[in-house]
Amino acid sequence: MNKEQIKRTERGWAGHFICGPRCRFHLNTLLEYNKTRIIVSTVGMMFTDDKPDQIGCDRYYETMAFEAETRRNGFVEINVKKEIDFSSKWCIEEPYKDNEANEMHENAVQEIINKLTKDDK
C-alpha cells in the first residue's frame, strides 16, 4: 500500500469543539486507509459579541486528530475518546490567521498520512 491508496474526504463542518458552530474557520478531513479511519479537524476564529474570542487558553485556532467511528445515522464522525497524537504545530495564538491555519491543518494531515503508510515502505 502507499499514499495514493489513502482516501481523503474534505468535509464542510467543524469536526470537534463544542462551540464549532460559532467558529468562522473550520476544516474537517477524513482519511481512510485499509480499515483505519482518522479525522483531522481544525477550528478557529470563534466570535462572541461580534469580536474574535479564544477557543482555548491563549489560542484562536487549534488542530486535533481522532479515530473515526460510524454512528447509527451512518455518518462517520470523531470518536472523542480516541485522540491521535501528532508532532506538527497544533495551535495559533493570534486571530485572523486563516492562511496559517490552512497550512497547520495540511501539515497535520500529511503527518498522519505518513504515519498510516510508514509500515508499507
pLDDT of residue 29: 97
Q: pTM score, two decimals?
A: 0.92
pLDDT digits (tens, 9 = 90+) for 58-104: 999 999 999 999 988 888 999 999 999 999 999 999 999 999 999 99
Gap between the Cα atoms of 30 and 9, Å rounded = 5
Q: Return phi, psi of residue 94, to 5°.
A: -125, 150
pLDDT tens per residue across span 28-51: 999 999 999 999 999 999 999 999
Sequence spans of domains, the chain: 3-120
pLDDT tens-place string over residues 58-70: 999 999 999 999 9
